[in-house]
Amino acid sequence: MKNIASVTCDSLTVHCRAVRAATIVLVLIAASLAGCTSVTNRTGTGEDVHALRGERQKGIVADFDARRDDAQYQAAVGRLRCGDVDDARIVLETILARRADYLPARLLLAELLLESNQPALALEHTRFVIERAPDVATARHIEGLVLEAMGRSDEALASFQQATDLEPKNEIYRLSFQTSADQIARSHAPVAVPSPANVEATLAAATAALQRNAPEESIQLLSAALEVTPSDARLWRALGVSHYRRGAYGEAQVVLAKAVSLDATDPLSYFLLGATLRQLGRTSESERHLTAAAEIDPRYATWR
C-alpha cells in the first residue's frame, strides 16, 4: 500500500501533465485564430529569421549608399561653384564608378566634358541618360548643345525641339531651339567675305563663323584684319574666343592676354582669360582675372 507521500506525488504528476496538455491546446487554438497553420509556422525557422535580417540589412545599406551618393553629388556641385572643375569631375567619376545609374551625376559630368572640349565623351554620357530616361528635358537639351559643338546642327535642332516639347515653358530651351534654327538658316545663305580693313564687318563675319562651328574660318578672318589694325582689342578678344572654341587653350590664353593689355577696362576680356586659365589648370591666376572682371562689371560675378 502506497504511503500518503507517494499518492500525493502521483496526483501532482497527473495534474501537471493535464495542465501541460491544456496549455498546448490553448497555444494551438491561439495560433489558429491568428491565422497560423502550425506552431512551426508561428515561430518561424532559423533560415526564415536569417533571411529577414538579411533583407533588412540590405535595405539599410542601400539607404546609406543613396544618401552618400546624394551628399557627394552636392559636394561636386559646390566645388564647381568654387571653380574646382577638376575636383568636381573626380567626385562625379567616383560616384559613377560605384553607381553607374546615378543620372544627375552623369549629366553634370557631360556638361563638364563639353566645357572641356570633349564633346564625343560628353555625348556618350548624355545618350546613356536618354536611353534610361527619354523624357528628361535637361538631357535632351544637353544633347543638343553637345551635337551643336560637334557641328551636327540638324541633329542638335532635333534635340532642342524635343527638350522644348517636353518643357514648353522653359525659356532657355526655347531660345536654344530658335538660335539653332536661325544658325541653320544663315548657314545656307551666301557668306560675303569682308574687307580686312572693316573691323565691324570682320567681327560680324567671325561671329557668324563661330555660330556655324567654324572656328578656323573665324581665325582666318580675324588674323587678316589684325594685320591691318593690330591695336584693336576687340579683334584680339574675338581671336582668343576662336582659339578657345577649337580647344587651343594655350593659344587662346596668349591672345586674350594681349586683348587685356590693349584694353584694361573690358570685363569680358578678363572673364574669358580667366575661363581659359581655368581650363589650363592655373586656378589662382584664373581667379584673379575672374575677380577683375567682376570688379569692373558686377554681373560677371554671377557667371563664374
Q: Where are the domains of the chain?
A: 10-42, 63-187, 199-303
Query: Do 63-187 and 199-303 come out as alike in CATH topology?
Result: yes
The DSSP element (H or E) to which 289 belongs, if any, is helix 283-296
pLDDT of 253 > 60? The answer is yes
Q: Band of the pLDDT at 50, cuts 50, 70, 90?
A: low
State the architecture of 199-303 in CATH terms. Alpha Horseshoe (1.25)
Contact 205, 217 (CB under 8 A): no
- Between 253 and 26, the more confident residue is 253
Q: Please state the length of the chain.
A: 304
pLDDT of 22 > 70? The answer is no
Q: What is d(CA 104, CA 9) in angstroms, rounded to the nearest whole number?
A: 78
CB atoms within 10 A of CB 267: 17
268 is written with which cell numbers?
A: 569680358
CA 10 from centre of chain: 83
pLDDT of 197 > 80? The answer is yes
CATH of domain 63-187: 1.25.40.10
pLDDT of 179 > 50? The answer is yes
Distances from the Cα of 15 to the Cα of 6, 22, 24, 86, angstroms: 14, 11, 14, 82
- Between 209 and 129, the more confident residue is 129
- Between 47 and 269, the more confident residue is 269
- The tens digit of pLDDT for each residue in 217-246 reads 999 999 999 999 999 999 999 999 999 999
Lowest mean pLDDT among 79-88, 91-100, 103-112, 284-293: 79-88
CB-count exposure of residue 115 (10 Å: 0-12, 13-18, 19+): middle
- Would you call 217 helix, strand, or coil by DSSP? helix
Q: What is d(CA 19, CA 157) in angstroms, rounded to the nearest whole number?
A: 86
pLDDT, mean over the chain: 82
